[in-house]
Structure 1
Amino acid sequence: MSALFLGIDVGTSSTKGVLVRADGEIVATATRAHELDLPRPGWAEHDADQIWWNDFSAIARTLTARTAEPVTAVGVSGIGPVLLPTDGRDRPLRPAILYGIDTRAGQEIAELDAELGADAIAERAGAPLTSQAVGPKLRWLRRHEPETWRRTRRVHMANSYLVSRLTGAYVLDHHSASQAVPLYDSRKQDWADGWATAIAEHIELPRLAWPAETAGLVTAAAAAETGIPAGTPVTAGTIDAWTEALSVGVRRPGDVMLMYGTTMFIIATLDTRRVSPPLWGTVGTFPGTFSLAAGMATSGAVADWVRRLTGEPDFDGLAAAARLSPPGANGLLMLPYFAGERSPLYDPDARGLLAGLTLRHSRGDIYRAALEATAYGVRHNLESFTEAGAPPRRLVAVGGGTTGGLWTQIVSDVLQQPQSLCASSVGASLGAAYLAALTAGADVDIDDWNPVVDACEPDPALAATYDEGYALYRRLYHDTADVAHALAARQV
């Protein structure tokens, strides 16, 4: 009987799980869709019990019921950085405030920059204060929900909350902590003396561990809810984008993951710490590694908006129509800032724009313009990586958006760089299962679990077309930003 590893990841719009053997054989997978709660413009939330724990438990029960073999170890990952305030018994006090797509704490970002110094924050934490940061959201909670703040004793991210429900342990991994800017000192790789206690005040901060370390063992109560045997080791886990990168072998210096999902997320692996204000600098998944990361506020979300607007039941019809539209979308240009923009603009009041419309344009042109807009956004971010001294040497594409090939081809054509594609698109849950295997001491290699099987090569003949389109894309934002900001102020 071979070892069996369970990986479950809680994403923005679905939770996914996988059972994997030590040789990389995928025994079973399961998925549960869930909704993102958007109670106000600029707010994004999840109910930790109804979504995170209920999804995890249901998927764990489904997968463990498909085999008579016991699970050897459990890996968890989830969206982040997020802020879930709980009481001293880890009971949620409000829905979790999500990562950079939640832009409510703009005032608090400005205040902390002024108090601590923007340069000092970037140098100590490794990243600037943006809508991605946890510290400003803690201050927002204190200001706007004082009763919740008074009752808050602990704070969780998705993976640490799952660890708590499974094991009773209050543990957060170093990587996730490094995104709790400015509470973590990425130079010392520990909570930031002075800053953490000043911002978190009476809140107990979790014990720190590395993602592949054992956080605890499954309790009898959790075993009854999940079907996972009591006593099974559970990893500390980490943020889902990093387990997604791990799932496709992005772990060596120069490797860069492009994650095609609801948002586009980009991670570069480094062997030295780098600080670049347009990007997020973090510690890596493993000791001795570091990352630079970037994230667009929307990507697949814009594509889905076009699908819903045109009444298409799925993306196949839109993709077929977009293939009939030439590169440049017959003179259409979109800004994909439908939920503001994260890196490298950090402009929560940026807004989407479709320029060049005529009565001759079709749904295929509009859909192609949306895909090209996300490709231009990727190019903008990758230029920031190069300027930071971390030029991408190898691009690996992953995520649901790689299906069908049109989106990845447009991105390669805009970048004029190839992208590697791996055998499995299971994603972050596979990376979580791999962490579980490492936790259990298994001799495994992710490149054996999920080898590269294909590449998306750029068309050199399109370089000039997309260079021109990219220049217009960059110009369009600057030329229309004042109008976008004025309109944003009217959206409540």
Structure 2
Amino acid sequence: MLLGVDIGTGSSKAVLASPDGTVIDTATVHHAVSLPRPGWAEFDAENTWWAEVQHLCRELFARRDARQVTGVAVSGMGPCLVVTDARGVPLRPAILYGVDTRARREIAELNEEFGEARITADGGKALSSQSVGPKLRWIANHEPQVFAAARYWFSCSSFLVHKLTGEYILDHPTASQCDPLYDIRRREWITDRAAAVARHLPLPRLLWPAETAGQVTREAADLTGIPVGTPVCAGTVDAWVEAYSAGVRSSGDTMLMYGSTMFFVQQLRAFRSHPQLWTVSGVEPGSLTLSGGMSTSGSLLTWLQQILGGTPMEVLLKDAAAVPAGAEGLLLLPYFAGERTPILDPDARGMIMGLTLRHGRGHLLRAALEGICFGLRQTLDLVEEAGEPITRLLAVGGGLKAGLWSQIASDVTGRTQIVPKVTIGASYGDALLAAVGTGTVAPDTDWMKADRLVEPTAGTAGLYGEMYATYCSLYASNRDHMHALARIQEKAAQS
């Protein structure tokens, strides 16, 4: 059996699979992000991420023989930042990926220090809330005692690899999001910048996701039940593993992930970049991808569910499905945690426009789904402008369980989506990485089998085109107001 474990924003999942891709068993545990201040998003890496890996493994091995596990790979939300002492114990909560926007001033500081154009040329993208370098600088600036005590820095998946093996590594896709520290063309660290940003912290050894990082230690075996000496692959950020599991291998293949955030990854034939998108190393050695992600998608739906009294999501979706396309003139901008792709504005704020006394909870949920999909349409149009023509759009992620969401996405974008038979998440791709990394299967093995198509509904294009035009103009018209409110929110949090 191959074991794959993924730490997502809303839950952690583990899967046991056979070398032919058959799912043998799965386990899931849910958790919540810590949002201690506006613009902050954190997790307890030790007592949530590592504890959940142990819990998931114990659950699976209560039903399955752990001695049959021949390889392990882990993935996680990312890029994140975990700083630890010399024993690998975190010194503060992990700082999350682009949904954590605290390092705005550090982005400006590093752009001034190294040159914005040079950073973009070397890394394939501009510094943003997705970048790890500004967050390292933020800890140095705002928590100097923590930074001085730190001895290692990790992302989510590499922290778990360290817990399992004791090795200090980072995979290339994650490293290529540690701007401004990584040269994406040379596929190596930029050591002078690292000395200025990471300072005394050593740089982790770089590996491709399927490469073996180390073996499970006795201590980790006692905690998880995974046999001592089992090979552990480097793993990577969950979105890239999920793209890998969905069969994104050829130029133009594009994964669309329905999760807490909506994310895409497109396989590139050659290097391309765009100021609103991210060029990132791919899963397979030497490969490149174009990517981007919204800040709130599934997490926005969860927020709506909470403020609507905890009504079961299936009930809310039924209500939303009963509302006609366009939500009877209700429009939502999904910038409830700022926005990454396509506007790259951490100070953008959510907006619900067109409310009347006629609108109910079904309208609100439908407007949220449509708003997310309008943002997706903007993003996919950028992809075709900057990257490769989209040859296949492969849909994955837990949000596919809400069939209404993927149908609205096809209606708004006018694009057909391919849904694989197995859509259980990045943990399935982790199992494939483990199979490839241990030599159990050939490197070009692809477990993806198509299940169904989601095609645009006839007759919706005109209305959605009109709503989309209004959606695009709302941000430009209200940007200054959003930023003013963001400053008020920041002052309120400080007081």
| TM-score using structure 1 length | 0.97
* 1:248–1:447 contact (8 Å) kept in structure 2: no
Structure 1 unmatched runs, 5+: none
Counterpart position of 2:406: 408
Counterpart position of 2:145: 147
* 2:436–2:442 contact (8 Å) kept in structure 1: yes
Give the Cα–Cα distance (whole angstroms) in 2 for the partners of residues 209 and 448 of structure 1.
21
Counterpart position of 2:183: 185
Counterpart position of 1:50: 47
Give the Cα–Cα distance (whole angstroms) in 1 for the partners of residues 486 and 275 of structure 2.
25
CA shift at 1:447, angstroms? 7.4
RMSD: 1.3
Give the Cα–Cα distance (whole angstroms) in 1 for the partners of residues 366 and 444 of structure 2.
34
- Asked whether 1:15 is paired with 2:12, we answer yes
Matches within 5 A, 1:5-404: 5-68=2-65, 69-404=67-402
CA shift at 1:71, angstroms? 0.5
Give the Cα–Cα distance (whole angstroms) in 1 for the partners of residues 307 and 429 of structure 2.
34
CA shift at 1:443, angstroms? 2.1
Segment of structure 1 superposing worse, 203-212 or 243-252: 243-252
Segment of structure 1 superposing worse, 198-207 or 388-397: 388-397
Give the Cα–Cα distance (whole angstroms) in 2 for the partners of residues 317 and 389 of structure 1.
39
Matches within 5 A, 1:453-464: 453-464=451-462
Give the Cα–Cα distance (whole angstroms) in 1 for the partners of residues 324 and 421 of structure 2.
30
* 1:173–1:208 contact (8 Å) kept in structure 2: yes
Runs of 4+ in 1 over 6 A off after TM superposition: none
- Asked whether 1:417 is paired with 2:415, we answer yes
Q: Could you give the per-residue CA deviations for residues 25-80 of structure 1, whole angstroms, max 9, x where no partner exists?
A: 21110011122111111001111110111000111122123222421000110111
| Amino acid in structure 1 at the alignment position of 2:315 | G
| Amino acid in structure 2 at the alignment position of 1:23 | D
User: Tell me, what secondary structure is at the counterpart of 1:89?
Assistant: coil
* 1:271–1:288 contact (8 Å) kept in structure 2: no
Give the Cα–Cα distance (whole angstroms) in 2 for the partners of residues 116 and 169 of structure 1.
31
Going from structure 1 to structure 2, the CA distance change for 1:394 and 1:131 (only over 3 Å counts) comes to: same
* 2:247–2:446 contact (8 Å) kept in structure 1: no
| Amino acid in structure 2 at the alignment position of 1:401 | G
| Amino acid in structure 2 at the alignment position of 1:439 | G
* 1:173–1:210 contact (8 Å) kept in structure 2: yes
User: Tell me, what secondary structure is at the counterpart of 2:222?
Assistant: helix
CA shift at 1:445, angstroms? 8.1
Give the Cα–Cα distance (whole angstroms) in 2 for the partners of residues 215 and 227 of structure 1.
19
| Amino acid in structure 2 at the alignment position of 1:60 | C
| Amino acid in structure 2 at the alignment position of 1:106 | R
User: Tell me, what secondary structure is at the counterpart of 1:386?
Assistant: helix
Q: Could you give the per-residue CA deviations for residues 424-480 of structure 1, whole angstroms, max 9, x where no partner exists?
A: 121100011110000110225887633111000012421111111111000011111
| Identity among equivalent pairs (%) | 51
Give the Cα–Cα distance (whole angstroms) in 2 for the partners of residues 284 and 449 of structure 1.
18
| Amino acid in structure 1 at the alignment position of 2:125 | A
* 2:436–2:443 contact (8 Å) kept in structure 1: no
Give the Cα–Cα distance (whole angstroms) in 2 for the partners of residues 112 and 144 of structure 1.
15
Aligned length: 489
Going from structure 1 to structure 2, the CA distance change for 1:34 and 1:446 (only over 3 Å counts) comes to: farther
